[in-house]
A and B are shown apart, each in its own frame.
Chain A
Amino acid sequence: MRLTVLAILAGFALATFTTPAAAQWRPYISHPLGFAFAAPGPMKVEKGTYEAPIAGRRQTTTYAFTDDNIEYKVVVIDMRDIAGNSASLLGEAQYRFQDGKKLMMDAFGRVDRQFGRKLTVDLPNNGGRSMGAFYFINGRIVSLQATVLPANGDYETPETGRFIDSITFYTVRADDDAIEVPPPG
């Protein structure tokens, strides 16, 4: 009996130490860009490029997070000089997100008077599943993308939806302790 209890306790302890602790979700905000969101784990800021027929070649700033083999990204593409073409620019970005992939969901996304779209795709070659949301605000495409990698494998996880739906364009709605993300360089 004593040994059984000891074995159970040891099992719990082992499980606790070996299971990776889920990273804490934190609120983030960008006052200059006009949005706030929440994500888990430490943030990395990455610079990149986006190229498409209508948009041309554009600089991107990505706020990236990884937790439990799920990649979370907020991608900001500056299009202020061609913002008058916002509908087609946003349509193009959405189209490219799902092009050549298996589309699982494509629905309206509406946040704080901003209409966009939410999509879920299966990546080719069993590369995982990505959920994305796309909005055009203040001359920029703001896109949230969460990818569940095969190493995680839980493609029905609610974490991706939590990330995508955390966006707000009314910065007053952000938590008081929201962390200011660095502005795009």
Chain B
Amino acid sequence: MRNWMLAAIVSPAIVMGSLAAEAQSAWRSYIVKELGFSFSAPGKIETSTGTFRGEVAGPRQTMIFKSNVNNIEYKVTVMSFKQAQGEGASILGERTYMFQDKKKTLMDTYARVEPGKDSVYGRKMVVELAEGKGRTFGAFYFTNGKLIALEATVLPANGDYESPDPARFVDSIAFIASRAGDNAIELQAPKTE
């Protein structure tokens, strides 16, 4: 009788706990209206700022949106180049070059988002990180004066390098607001100096 009562109390608790964990890792759509794009990712999105330096790009502040679920890191990084839009092709080329530099490139191909004259061309790449630190999927675009990079890294603790989740993440980018979906959660861009 006592065991039966214990089971009756513990089982719902386990179910509730797993439901909460599932909700935590559920995929959601996000839109950053201020920056003109939307994407989907699992888990809780945290925003922060960082820095980047490239020979062509120079020193830049970055806006970061990231989550970590099941030992896969999902990260969107945005840099503004309002005054250097004509250099966008080279800035994008430099960023993609830096992404694969000194790593084993597994895939490097064209990326195109949106149809016809609204198309945004970029590149999608997959690299193996040095010293067995995992595998990163990346997609890179330069549009409206902003460099947008989506990177998903499968860490060794996950180990499923063929997981479809990184591709789902990098392919979720959209630059037309209506494609974000009605339920998209609006994110505010972190403030840079």
Interface residues, chain A, CB within 8 Å of chain B?
53-54, 56, 83-92, 94-95, 106, 108, 110, 113-117, 135-136, 138-139
Contact = CB atoms under 8 A, between A and B. Distances in A.
A91 B85 contact: no
Given A87-B122, A94-B110, A116-B93, 4 more contacts: A83-B86, A84-B85, A85-B85, A115-B91
A84 B123 CA distance: 18
B87 A91 contact: no
B145 interface: yes
Contacts of A117: 93
Interface centre among A92, A110, A115, A139, by most B CB within 10 Å? Answer: A115
A117 B85 CA distance: 19
A118 to B, nearest CB: 11
18 contacts: A54-B117, A54-B121, A84-B85, A85-B85, A87-B92, A87-B122, A90-B89, A92-B119, A94-B110, A113-B55, A113-B90, A114-B90, A115-B90, A115-B91, A115-B97, A116-B90, A136-B88, A138-B86
Interface centre among A54, A83, A85, by most B CB within 10 Å? Answer: A85
Interface of B: 55-56, 85-94, 96-97, 108, 110, 112, 116-117, 119-123, 141-145
Nearest to B108: A106
Given A106-B108, A115-B97, A86 B117 contact: no
Nearest to A83: B86
Given A84-B85, A87-B88, A110-B97, A95 B143 contact: no
A95 B112 contact: yes
Interface of A is mostly: mixed
A54 B141 CA distance: 15
A88 B90 contact: no
B92 A115 contact: yes
A84 B121 contact: no
B103 to A, nearest CB: 13
Contact of B119 (A53, A84, A113): A53
Nearest to B144: A84
Nearest to A98: B110
B119 A86 contact: no
Contact of A88 (B55, B93, B119): B119
Contact of A108 (B86, B97, B143): B97
A152 B55 CA distance: 41
A115 B86 contact: no
A110 B110 contact: no
Nearest to A107: B108
A53 B114 CA distance: 12
B74 to A, nearest CB: 23
